[in-house]
């Protein structure tokens, strides 16, 4: 039987690159994709992500139409923009970054608004197979929700929905007047559960406001406490107990002009609130006789934007843990110690002391010798903790020494992701030691 004709190097490279999708739609489908020409109107975050999804499998060409320049607010929702992009044409910058994903794809940009193009080049869009745009005539869901909130308040003693029953009634009111395919109404209904909790001072922030360091400023006070004092004065004396407006407007179904106008309203109010807090900071700095640049305006803006999530953690230095001499061990029953996650913690501490005292990782050179030495070091740690009769299990000591400092990257990555997913409030985990054992549930966070 004759051998099949060998494919060209170019064709072989293409097959390797697009192997998985060729299995789905074959060479005919791939050829159609590579001959397609796509146009994106307005380089927003969603549109660029959609383009990414068709550039990677090898779309033939794409063009981005956007007459605006990159501003700071564009950086958050659009992965293909960075700080250095500010002030530059949005269409060109996004096109350049997107084209880097697949050099086989041809990219182009038009730095003009779609309105200008349609008026001056009405046949422009006829050159494309698909035109993707987010333009819509709908008003933002905030206006929809506000309209029906006012109606609901008029029927309920002018109060805001505060429980499930109230919110369910408001949702039903919006649904009753909703026509089909009105996305802004659907977004307003979804937002009912979360739209009424903003601006409230959190318990963590209340503790900061009541802290002596906030109440009694002096020349040695850190800028943080000066900002907290100014923020407290603003909230309590000027803003009716509400936090400054963050000024961050989420993406939503809306026509461009409505969204931009709403965004400008939010931004201007946020700048006004931050300016008031900054003025209070300057007054406090002057009263304390400090330099005028002790508190920076950009730091105040950051504090105002993130005020709802501010908390303070007074942790301890790692040296403090060593000074405690394992006093917490005294509370552990000798008979119940083995097989617990506390045993693993002590094993890790033994590992660390072994490295300091012996100058090498347990089991790095001689497993049997290090096993005996490791057990001796563990005994010292238990004696420091008042548990002279306790010790680590032989199986655990042998396993650690047999491990010999090997770096199990996959295990490390898994545990890191596990901790990330378990800890909703990631920063507070600084206070605790995480103990994980694969075959034991639940996992534990120990405050030591």
Structural domains in the chain? 13-119 (3.50.50.80), 141-192 (no CATH), 203-306 (no CATH), 318-403 (no CATH)
Would you state the structure tokens that stand for residue 131, as one six-digit string? 């035109």
Q: Which of 273, 226, 228 is nearest to 246 (CA)?
A: 273
Specify whether the CB–CB gap between 40 and 62 falls below 8 A. Answer: yes
Report in angstroms the alpha-carbon separations of 231 from 206, 255, 266, 422: 11, 35, 19, 32
pLDDT at 428 over 50: no
**What per-residue confidence (pLDDT) applies to 251?**
77
Exposed/middle/buried for residue 111 (C-beta within 10 Å: 0-12, 13-18, 19+): middle
3 state SS of 65: strand
**What per-residue confidence (pLDDT) applies to 50?**
85
Rounded Cα distance, 448 and 436, in Å: 16
Interval 167-176: pLDDT, tens: 999 999 988 8
Would you state the structure tokens that stand for residue 90, as one six-digit string? 């949005």
**What per-residue confidence (pLDDT) applies to 248?**
79
Sign of CA dihedral 101, 106, 111, 114: negative
Average pLDDT over residues 324-340: 58
Which phi and psi (to 5°) does residue 439 adopt?
Answer: -100, 15
**What per-residue confidence (pLDDT) applies to 320?**
67
Please tell me which residue, 290 or 18, carries the higher pLDDT value. Answer: 290
- The lowest-confidence range among 21-30, 148-157, 184-193, 210-219 is 21-30
Confidence of residue 199 (pLDDT cuts 50, 70, 90): confident
**What per-residue confidence (pLDDT) applies to 108?**
92
**What per-residue confidence (pLDDT) applies to 412?**
61
Average pLDDT over residues 77-92: 89
pLDDT at 313 over 70: yes
| CA neighbours closer than 13 Å in the CB half-sphere of residue 358 | 22
Would you state the structure tokens that stand for residue 309, as one six-digit string? 């999530």
Specify whether the CB–CB gap between 378 and 350 falls below 8 A. Answer: yes
Which of 270-274's residues contact partners 24+ apart within 8 Å by CB, and which partners? Answer: 270/244, 270/245, 270/246, 270/304, 270/305, 271/247, 271/301, 273/234, 273/239, 273/244, 273/245, 273/304, 274/244, 274/300, 274/301, 274/304, 274/305
- The lowest-confidence range among 31-40, 81-90, 136-145, 356-365 is 136-145
Interval 273-284: pLDDT, tens: 999 999 999 999
Confidence of residue 193 (pLDDT cuts 50, 70, 90): confident
Rounded Cα distance, 396 and 373, in Å: 14
**What per-residue confidence (pLDDT) applies to 297?**
94
Confidence of residue 321 (pLDDT cuts 50, 70, 90): low
pLDDT at 3 over 50: no
pLDDT at 33 over 50: yes
Rounded Cα distance, 110 and 87, in Å: 16
**What per-residue confidence (pLDDT) applies to 138?**
61
**What per-residue confidence (pLDDT) applies to 64?**
92
Of all residues in the chain, what percent carry a pLDDT higher than 90? Answer: 25
| CA neighbours closer than 13 Å in the CB half-sphere of residue 363 | 14
């Amino acid at each position: 039987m004759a051998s099949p004709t060998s494919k060209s190097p170019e064709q072989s490279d293409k097959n390797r690159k697009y192997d998985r999708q060729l299995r789905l739609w074959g060479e005919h489908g791939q050829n159609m994709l590579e001959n397609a020409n796509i146009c994106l109107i307005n380089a927003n975050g969603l549109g660029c992500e959609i383009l990414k999804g068709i550039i990677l499998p090898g779309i033939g060409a794409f063009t981005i139409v956007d007459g605006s320049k990159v501003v700071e607010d564009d950086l958050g929702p659009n992965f293909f923009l960075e700080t250095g992009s500010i002030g530059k044409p949005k269409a060109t910058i996004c096109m350049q970054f997107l084209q880097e994903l697949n050099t086989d794809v041809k990219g182009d940009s038009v730095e003009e608004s779609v309105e200008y193009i349609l008026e001056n080049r009405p046949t422009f869009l006829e050159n494309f197979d698909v035109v993707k745009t987010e333009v819509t005539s709908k008003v933002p869901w905030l206006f929809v929700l506000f309209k029906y909130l006012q109606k609901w308040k008029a029927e309920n003693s002018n109060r805001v929905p505060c429980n499930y029953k109230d919110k369910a009634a408001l949702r039903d009111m919006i649904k009753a007047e909703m026509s089909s395919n009105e996305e802004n109404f659907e977004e307003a209904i979804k937002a009912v559960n979360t739209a009424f909790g903003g601006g409230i001072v959190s318990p963590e922030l209340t503790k900061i406001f009541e802290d002596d360091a906030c109440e009694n400023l002096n020349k040695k006070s850190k800028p943080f406490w000066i900002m907290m004092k100014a923020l407290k004065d603003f909230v309590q004396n000027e803003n009716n107990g509400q936090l400054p407006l963050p000024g961050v407007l989420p993406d939503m179904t809306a026509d461009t002009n409505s969204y931009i106008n709403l965004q400008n309203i939010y931004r201007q109010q946020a700048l006004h609130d931050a300016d008031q807090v900054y003025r209070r900071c300057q007054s406090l700095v002057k009263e304390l006789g400090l330099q005028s640049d002790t508190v920076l305006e950009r730091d105040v803006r950051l504090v105002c934007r993130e005020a709802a999530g501010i908390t303070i953690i007074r942790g301890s230095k790692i040296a403090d843990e060593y000074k405690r001499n394992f006093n917490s061990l005294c509370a552990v029953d000798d008979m119940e110690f083995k097989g617990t996650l506390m045993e693993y913690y002590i094993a890790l501490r033994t590992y660390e002391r072994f490295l300091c005292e012996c100058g090498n990782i347990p089991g790095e050179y001689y497993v049997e010798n290090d096993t005996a030495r490791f057990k001796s070091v563990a005994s010292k740690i238990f004696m420091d903790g008042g548990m002279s009769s306790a010790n680590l299990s032989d199986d655990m000591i042998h396993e650690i020494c047999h491990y010999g400092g090997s770096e199990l990257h996959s295990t490390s990555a898994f545990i890191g992701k596990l901790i990330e997913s378990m800890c909703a409030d990631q920063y507070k985990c600084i206070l605790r030691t995480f103990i994980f054992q694969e075959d034991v549930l639940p996992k534990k966070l120990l405050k030591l």
